[in-house]
Structure 1
Amino acid sequence: MRTLEHVGICAKNTVALKDWYMKLFNLKVVYDNKKENPTFFLLMEDESMIEIYHAEEDGMVATNKHQGVRHLAFGTDQIEEEYKNLQQHNVEIIEDLKVNPNGVKTVFFRDIEGNILHFIQRPERLY
């Protein structure tokens, strides 16, 4: 059996980005290497993790249509509350909450380092 154990986010400021994810998503730090530019693993409710590690070079901020991995999607069954939480924390919204013809609800936004994220709520699972 294979699972997606973690997604790595290379950050200019690992502490600030860790704090942002913890505040917005209520994640738990399960690893901190305690170095000058620390690496963190943050645990999600489904036991997957986000790794935040130090960037050695600056990169350009890409749009959702540039080649490569462009966004992380977080499934939720309470997208309206998630959307309000983003607004209350002055998160940069890229695409407001919308519903497609199949009833799939999405909202796209950026974290404090410009990474593209989104919430998705599906009326039925894909599998």
Structure 2
Amino acid sequence: MKINKIDHIGIRVTDFVRTQAFYALLGFAPFREDMNERVVAVSHPCGITLNFLDSADNNYGIKNVLMDIAEKHAGYTHCAFHVDTIEEALKFTKENNIPISEGPVTFGNGKTSLFIRDPDYNVIEFTQDPGT
């Protein structure tokens, strides 16, 4: 079997409207809404597709169960979006009053990253290749 690409990433959310507004700031636009399935699909001009699933509870308040509690559970921890420069990402977060949760930080592979959270505290990484 040949895998060609990632088709989409599903993200559980607590509020469709709030989530869509946040991801619209990043350039995502809805192309499918199905309230029977409780899903909103959004796409970005670069080809990324996300499916928001309206099935999350809020039992953890302002915490992400995979990232913010001492016990470490298996699961996806974040989504990384490649950007031209971290400086542009910093400017974007400042202009849109989005708190930075970590960074900028340069890793051993030379990539520099900046981390933010979406309205449900899912981690989003903006990453820049070394030397750019």
Both structures adopt the same fold (TM-score exceeding 0.5): yes
The two structures have a TM-score, normalised by structure 2, of 0.78
Q: Which one of the candidate residues 101, 112, 121 is aligned to 2:119?
A: 112
Structure 2 gap ranges (5+): none
RMSD of aligned alpha carbons: 2.4
Measure, in 1, the Cα distance between the counterparts of 2:11 and 2:24.
Answer: 14
* Deviation of the 1:56 alpha carbon: 4.9
The two structures have a TM-score, normalised by structure 1, of 0.81
Measure, in 2, the Cα distance between the counterparts of 1:51 and 1:59.
Answer: 22
Structure 1 range deviating more: 56-65 or 108-117: 56-65
* Deviation of the 1:15 alpha carbon: 1.6
Q: Which one of the candidate residues 12, 15, 21 is aligned to 1:13?
A: 15
Tell me the residue number matched to 1:27.
28
Contact 1:72 1:116 in 2 (8 A): yes
Deviation per residue, 1:81-108 (Å, 9 max, x gap): 1121112222231112123355311001
Number of aligned residue pairs: give it.
122
Percent identity of paired positions between Structure 1 and Structure 2: 21
Tell me the residue number matched to 1:42.
42
Quickly say closer, same or farther: Cα 1:36–1:15, change in 2 above 3 A. farther
* Deviation of the 1:38 alpha carbon: 4.8
Structure 1 gap ranges (5+): none
